[in-house]
Structure 1
Amino acid sequence: MKRLPRTAAVLAAAAALVGTTALPALAAPPVVQRPTYRNPVSAGFADTFADPSVIRGKDGWWYAYGTSDPLREGSTTPAQIPVARSRDMATWTSVGEAFSAANRPSWAAPGAALWAPDIRYVDGQYRLYYVVTDTTLYDAKNQTGDSAVGMATAPTPAGPWTDSGAPVVAPRPGAAGAAANDFLWTFDPSAVTDGGRQYLFYGSYYGGIYVSELAADGRTTTGKATQVALDNKFEGAYVVRHGSYWYLFASTANCCAGPTTGYSVQVGRSKKITGPYVDAQGVSLTASRTGGTPVLNQNGNRWVGAGHNAVATDLAGRDWIVYHAIDRGDPYLNGTSGINQRPMLIDRLDWVDGWPAVRGGRGPSTGEQQGPAAGGRWSTDLTSGLPARWRTTGGWAQRTEQQSGGYVRSTGAASVVSARVGASARVEADLRSAGADQGLTLRSGSTTVRAVVDLEAGRLRLQERRGGKTVDASSTRLPQGYAADEWHSVALQVREGRASATVTQARLGDPVASTDLRVRKGSTVDRAGAFADGAGVDVDNLSALPVAKPVTRLAPTPVPDRLDRAASDSFTGKALAPGWSWVRKDPAATVTDGELRWPTEAADLTGTGNDAGVLLRDPGAGAWTVETKLTIDLGTDDVRNYQQAGLVAYVDDDQFVRLSHVAIFNTRQTELGHETPYAGGLSYGGTIVGPPARTTWLRLTHTVDQRNGEHELRGWTSRDGRTWVKGGVWTLPAGSDVKVGLVSHGGAGATARFGWFRVYR
């Protein structure tokens, strides 16, 4: 676009922004609005709201979209992609459903469900991607289960929604072909912007997760799809950029096993959006011994099965993870089976040493929590024009439209700035332009940092200016075809001598452009706001808040580490040390050459069969740790269901926690499984810990919850015996007589070699 002519008014406005013209002092320090909340945040409008996706609309509200389930206990009629909105991400109200009989996708079979929505905003248009579980495309062959990804568009986050008319990703026949009702699971779409290009992640356990580039209109994929996460391990992809990496969040384990649901979120990262993605141990998410660093897993409180996440950023720059979970005391929507009740939760998402962690590694919250920074004195959605406390230069005219509601438009060179913000500050606004440059500014004394959307040069510029002169700068290209006349979210942040500027479509962690700059550490930021270099610049949703203080350390997790030699066994003799006992002794288990060697039995503990051997000893009361070094050759890639070996915390055959290296179809995983009686039957589920190796170190830590007496068992794994991956928690009932020990079962054909068994207090 051609730059507008500069005038004396432009120069005067620029001079004011860099501090050469004094602005009157404004009274009162900023007030940051951070509401408190209690999970689940969807309780006000829904008992279940699974697979949530969240966006901040151009009208200043946050919107959430969920899978099509009945919203309340007692109801049996699914809401067709329910939609809710909130001013602060803490208190939500329903605004209806995305679909009805009038606009339901014509290519969806009559009984098809609509699942796992993903909301985006691209070039002035809201795009809602979703799963159709059964289409009409194979009706001539009477086939079912041919899931596909669809897309609808709307001018506002609340609709009205118009389906694109055909799948974005069509049904994908599996190995046996469509003739056998065999289709890969084309589930869980998530669209991402990388510069000026759009990508779609999709897939699930049957088939794996893939990424494809999208056409500019988002309605079709182009080119060859790339697999980024292995089948039989991951689903529910959500991708954001943080620093110099793309982070692939993906859910793992069973989503819907009632009180024993072990669903959780793991992550890998990559320099390229198309991968390869690796975890913190450097293990690929497509390896057979599958990688994945836990981000969100259950911690022993009421919540289990925490997963299928989205990520939202508040006005202070703090990230929040939005997800669903299950109350283990009320796991079903109606009765004791059927639809799992999965309400929406939010919690703080921290970044420690380059990796995400929920609440510093504490996991899902209960009780009152401090919520997102959602507003304050220097925050306005401009519904009624500019508040009087904001300082302006030049002219701003009030405007109104359907998409954003109220906003202001420059009538020439102009600026709007706040007063004091803090020692560090973040200023944001939605901006668009008919041709003039626009941007954001932060001033501290004589130093000003500016983010400039330079349309003539096609660049995002970040400048440090003192005394009216630029002393340092960085820049990056805006993408080809950058639609300056559509809303973009621009953010400028300065903290501890580092400035960053980003342009996004909708604040969803996928920047159109971003750049960083080292700047002079200053005192309190005394001016923050937006500016226009000419007429026709629109500004909306303007905020200036202190930057959120980052969490830089993980919360400590106690691990008893004083070796109890009397309770341990090094397997150095010709027989087991005293203190062991058997449930169903397996004579094939022998102590040989400093190891306990135990061929995997063609037996199991789960269900009512209960024919596997269990080798046990008493760990004693109080807090303790048990560890073993396990070598087992389960091979890779082939199907060896479900050979496994590992540790067990055992009450009886129907009440136990098991941590094992297990073959699950083509994958090898470390599963922390739990079986418990429920509703007259048995319920079993597992949560996944870190990546295994041929030799894997396994650990269970035990504490007793002083509030309710429950035994809490947390799983840990390591590939080298030094670096441990912390997993989730299962509980055993208060008053249980918990024994600990070893198991080796799930199918004949492998041999577990236990190097030792150690108890720590």
Structure 2
Amino acid sequence: MRRCTAALAAAILLLTPAAAQAAPQRQTYTNPVSASFADTFADPMVVRGDDGFWYAYGTTDPLREGEKVFHRIPTARSADLVSWTYVGDAFAEGQRPAFAAENAAFWAPDVRRIGDSAAKAASPHCKSQPQCWVMYVTVTETTGGPGRSAIGAATAPTPTGPWTFSDEPVVAPRPSGDGGWLWTFDPALLTTPDGRSYLYYGSYFGGIWVSELSADGLRVTGTATRVAIDNKFEGAYVVRRDGWYYLFASSANCCAGPTTGYSVSAGRSRDPRGPFTDRDGLRLDVSRAGGTPVVAPNGNKWVGTGHNGLITDLAGQDWLAYHAIDRADPYLDEPFGINERPMLLDRLDWIGGWPTVRAGAWASERPVAKPVTRTPLQDSFDTLSPRQWRVAEGKWAAVNGRLRGSGTLLARSPQRGDLRAEADLRGPAGLTIGSTTVRISGNSLAVGSRRTPLPAGFDATAWHHLVVDVRAGRLTATLDDTTVASGRTGGHGGRTVVGVTAATTAEVDNVSVGPPAEPVRRAAAVPEPGRMLAAYSDEFTGSALNPAWTFVRPDPAATVGGGALRWPVQNADLTGTSNSAGVLLRQAPRGSWIAETKLTLDLGEDSVRNFQQAGLIAYAGDDQFARLSAVAIWNTRQVEFGYEIPYAGTTSYGGTIVGTPGLTTAWLRLAHRVDEVNGEHEYRAGVSRDGRTWTWGGVWTLPADSNPRIGLIAHGGAEPAVTASFDYLRFRRW
């Protein structure tokens, strides 16, 4: 057994629940939330522990600039989700599962509380415990040869360990069929209302897959299903909401320094095995894969906004924990090397059935309202306060920091209006809301006299989490994020008495009651085109290019006729030192505007045609541009917003994925504005498949002292021969 490190033990002693409750409550916070203990904390996962604290886990990296020491799943602890303290590493140096190679690293942990007896029996630390924690983690190298990644599992009795690896992988290395090995990365657990557990895993080489898990959660069973296409998605995270399963997945390069375009998009399905489709009905597992944007670079300091977890505060507001890169400080030890990816936390809103960070404003860099982690009625039962509670029936006492007893315990202060109540329960216990009791009763969740069956094998002797929301007299109860029941309740004159109830002796902890969050229902504004700027636009109605155009590296194959510019895709490029492609440019208007083109480009389907593309460009030079194009990236067809800038004596190139091109046609937009504070040129990318419905993606910036022109490109590869056709380039005020 591995003992807790000295640092971990000291932190646990210092961070007692009493100390947490005594700490002052800040009303705002500023990203990154990991700054107090780490310069980088990639692939974050956040859970709430049995002790009422929140715990965050990150990928294996040094924590501080210049440190050079790799922390094997660093762990941090917080009482309010925004002030974090490092409490140690999950694994000691040299600790690894039997199947891991000596040089294995551990990436992208996924940590969950489990209560099933079969799962607990699988761990020597959990057999006699009322709760157990499991960590699924990427093991980058396994025995038998290089490149053979796998998903491993470790279990522990507490969120801080001690963690013990299972000797066999949950998902073993998977051959690709061509002599290589699929990337078996980024695990994420989902438990469905019927009690089944599923694990999502995979990355760009192979795509994202889902497999059902064995009863103990330590083996995949049955046939795996691919839910997201390869070469576009990784970093899966799945949640159930309103009968839908939402797959969050990250796209683009995670680690391109100041040009990292990593971002998160989502699809949903009624079945945990998919198919997942986006807001426009596009599947995520096909060549022209969809994906509704959740967060992407927005033009402020943060780029590379991706690889998320999800946490819900005590008011019921969801929050996205994810990493990002400060474009002014992109590497842990400059220049180059490990990308510095601290943890950010931002509000996650659900608008029209779809998730988006801060209503579509995306990553915050200035102070914003913090999560609700303190409520008017809140108790972790270090003692049983007669000023806060009265025993209405039975006998109750605080024992070892938990409430123990049977009968009914009522709060002395009624709650006004709508409310949200939460509690951790062990045994036949529940919450009383006004005249309605919600509790675990045998193999069901009872709301008054109504009963909702619990999953087969439900273990009432383990700890479970109950949430009860009351809005306008309508009650919704959720147990362990899976079992949902509903009913009616009532108070007296708008005042509701809340209490704890148990049919026989049970334990209760971490009770909180307070007003529920008011959901955000209106999305942030997106660019809308205004009046036409005819002097800057071109309908290509003549037989030659308008003199307003300038050609960098002229291509005589580009011709105008029949109301279109036709340009055979060149075997050339602009990235790195190549700088061989032609760029057709014209002067942009001043101020805020939207440039649009209609592009016809037949890139086929599924086949590899790297990296044929065509589209719009904001061009300040061969090494300083933002390029929006429909592009073939291996077997996929995507709309990429690429970005290149000079950096540290060379160039840095990255891209963010905006959306999906049509079968042969895509409408592309660049919306430009000048930042009022720093004078930078900001360009936001948009794409449409029909010219009417638009998806708006990320933002790239060009320097204030530059004079970017706007134009068209068609390059990336000559085979097979294909011609890009542009119907127009139109500018409109924004």
TM score, norm. by length of structure 2: 0.92
Once the two structures are TM-superposed, the CA of residue 440 in structure 1 deviates from its matched residue by 1.8
Matched-pair contact (CA < 8 Å) for 1:424–1:525: no
Alignment of 1:41 with 2:33, yes or no, is: yes
Matched-pair contact (CA < 8 Å) for 1:711–1:731: yes
Cα separation, 1, equivalents of 2:493 and 2:529? 45
Cα separation, 1, equivalents of 2:471 and 2:515? 9
Alignment of 1:735 with 2:705, yes or no, is: yes
Alignment of 1:529 with 2:471, yes or no, is: no
Once the two structures are TM-superposed, the CA of residue 757 in structure 1 deviates from its matched residue by 1.1
The CA RMSD measured in Å over matched residues stands at 1.6
Matched-pair contact (CA < 8 Å) for 1:103–1:161: no
Q: Which runs of 5+ in 2 are unaligned?
A: 1-23, 116-130
Q: Which residue of 1 aligns with 2:65?
A: 73
Once the two structures are TM-superposed, the CA of residue 523 in structure 1 deviates from its matched residue by 5.7
Matched-pair contact (CA < 8 Å) for 1:378–1:418: no
**Distance change (3 Å), C-alpha of 1:560 and 1:69:** same
Q: Which residue of 2 aligns with 1:758?
A: 730
Equivalences for 1:541-560 in 2 at 5 Å?
A: 541-560=510-529
Q: Which residue of 1 aligns with 2:461?
A: 485
The one-letter code of the counterpart of 1:439 is G
Q: Which runs of 5+ in 1 are unaligned?
A: 1-31, 401-405, 464-469, 505-510
Q: Which residue of 2 aligns with 1:421?
A: 415
**Distance change (3 Å), C-alpha of 1:753 and 1:58:** same
Q: Which residue of 2 aligns with 1:194?
A: 192
- Picking from 409, 425, 430, the partner of 2:424 is 430
**Distance change (3 Å), C-alpha of 1:518 and 1:697:** farther
Cα separation, 2, equivalents of 1:697 and 1:302? 28
Equivalences for 1:105-504 in 2 at 5 Å?
A: 105-123=97-115, 124-136=131-143, 138=144, 143-177=145-179, 182-195=180-193, 196-386=195-385, 388-393=387-392, 394-400=394-400, 406-410=401-405, 412-417=406-411, 419-433=413-427, 437-443=428-434, 448-455=435-442, 458-463=443-448, 475-504=451-480
Q: Which residue of 1 aligns with 2:536?
A: 567
**Distance change (3 Å), C-alpha of 1:274 and 1:655:** same
Once the two structures are TM-superposed, the CA of residue 489 in structure 1 deviates from its matched residue by 0.3
Q: Secondary structure at the match of 1:259?
A: helix
The one-letter code of the counterpart of 1:130 is V
Once the two structures are TM-superposed, the CA of residue 620 in structure 1 deviates from its matched residue by 1.8
Q: Which residue of 1 aligns with 2:10?
A: none
The one-letter code of the counterpart of 2:700 is W
Matched-pair contact (CA < 8 Å) for 2:491–2:497: no
Q: Which moved more, 1:745-754 or 1:389-398?
A: 389-398
Matched-pair contact (CA < 8 Å) for 1:386–1:408: no
Deviations 1:43-85 (A, max 9, x none): 1111100000110001111000000000000011100100001
Q: Secondary structure at the match of 1:553?
A: coil
Once the two structures are TM-superposed, the CA of residue 386 in structure 1 deviates from its matched residue by 4.5
**Distance change (3 Å), C-alpha of 1:523 and 1:302:** farther
**Residue-pair matches, total:** 690
Q: Secondary structure at the match of 2:535?
A: helix
Once the two structures are TM-superposed, the CA of residue 588 in structure 1 deviates from its matched residue by 1.2
Once the two structures are TM-superposed, the CA of residue 459 in structure 1 deviates from its matched residue by 2.0
Q: Which residue of 1 aligns with 2:639?
A: 670
Matched-pair contact (CA < 8 Å) for 1:572–1:594: yes
**Distance change (3 Å), C-alpha of 1:90 and 1:525:** farther
Structure with more contact order per residue of length (Cα contacts < 8 Å, sep ≥ 6): 1
Matched-pair contact (CA < 8 Å) for 2:477–2:486: yes
Matched-pair contact (CA < 8 Å) for 2:388–2:411: no
**Distance change (3 Å), C-alpha of 1:460 and 1:568:** same
Once the two structures are TM-superposed, the CA of residue 36 in structure 1 deviates from its matched residue by 1.9
Once the two structures are TM-superposed, the CA of residue 270 in structure 1 deviates from its matched residue by 0.4
Once the two structures are TM-superposed, the CA of residue 416 in structure 1 deviates from its matched residue by 3.3
Matched-pair contact (CA < 8 Å) for 1:418–1:529: no
**Distance change (3 Å), C-alpha of 1:216 and 1:418:** farther
**Distance change (3 Å), C-alpha of 1:723 and 1:319:** same
Alignment of 1:581 with 2:550, yes or no, is: yes
Alignment of 1:744 with 2:714, yes or no, is: yes
Once the two structures are TM-superposed, the CA of residue 578 in structure 1 deviates from its matched residue by 4.0
Cα separation, 2, equivalents of 1:288 and 1:224? 22
Deviations 1:400-458 (A, max 9, x none): 2xxxxx11111x3222335233321000000111xxx4222322xxxx34323221xx2
Seq. identity, %: 55
Q: Which residue of 1 aligns with 2:13?
A: none
Q: Which residue of 2 aligns with 1:6?
A: none
Q: Secondary structure at the match of 1:591?
A: strand
Matched-pair contact (CA < 8 Å) for 1:427–1:529: no
**Distance change (3 Å), C-alpha of 1:637 and 1:389:** same
Cα separation, 1, equivalents of 2:559 and 2:730? 18
The one-letter code of the counterpart of 2:587 is D
Deviations 1:176-206 (A, max 9, x none): 23xxxx2100000001111211110000000
Q: Secondary structure at the match of 2:682?
A: strand
Q: Which residue of 2 aligns with 1:628?
A: 597
Q: Which moved more, 1:613-622 or 1:673-682?
A: 613-622
Q: Secondary structure at the match of 1:596?
A: strand
Cα separation, 2, equivalents of 1:667 and 1:389? 60
Cα separation, 2, equivalents of 1:522 and 1:37? 37
**Distance change (3 Å), C-alpha of 1:118 and 1:224:** same
Cα separation, 2, equivalents of 1:685 and 1:183? 25
Cα separation, 2, equivalents of 1:281 and 1:71? 40
Matched-pair contact (CA < 8 Å) for 2:439–2:501: no
Q: Which residue of 2 aligns with 1:16?
A: none
